[in-house]
Amino acid sequence: MVIADDEADIRLLVRISFEHDARFVIAGEASTGKEALEVLTSCGADAVVLDLHMPEMHGLESLPLIRRRFPHMAIVLFSAYLTGAARLTAVHLGADDAVEKTRAPAELVERMARLFAAA
């Protein structure tokens, strides 16, 4: 999986959370939406945790591009600014799930695991 967030501390927290679960392998990280597309293209990941607000190309801009290029990828939007409207827009654009950053990291891991279990 790839972790895309402009905040290095958040990427570290998410990475540690997923590294402690043998079901997941971190294939790369990105700090912008544009970089996320580049990393996903080069690493062959099958999932991405995608921040909403990032420089160059934010999550809602990169989300449909990721979905078109990688139709079977599990995509979870992960944001501190996840309003009801943003959640609906994310799902409409192709996100499989959306999780608030205020949730425990274990919830993000479990919600990603459910996506793979359902596939």
Predicted local distance difference test score (pLDDT) of residue 25: 95
pTM check: above 0.75? yes
The one-letter amino acid code at 107 reads E
pLDDT tens digits, one per residue of 63-110:
999 999 999 999 999 988 887 888 888 999 999 999 999 988 899 999
Rounded CA-CA distance 106/80 in Å is 16
Q: What per-residue confidence (pLDDT) applies to 69?
A: 95
Joined together, the tokens standing for residue 59 give 């999550």
Q: Residue 59's pLDDT band (boundaries 50, 70, 90)?
A: confident
- Across the chain, mean pLDDT equals 92
Phi/psi for 63 (5° steps) reads -55, -55
Which DSSP symbol is given to 57? Answer: S
CATH class of 2-118: alpha beta
Q: Are 41 and 15 a contacting pair, CB within 8 Å?
A: no
Which whole number is the average pLDDT over 12-33? 95
**Residue environment code for 88-112, b if the CB has 16+ CB neighbours within 10 A, otherwise e:** ebbeebbbbbbbebeeebeebbebb
Going from N- to C-terminal start, the domains of the chain cover 2-118
Two structure tokens written together for 54: 């990032």
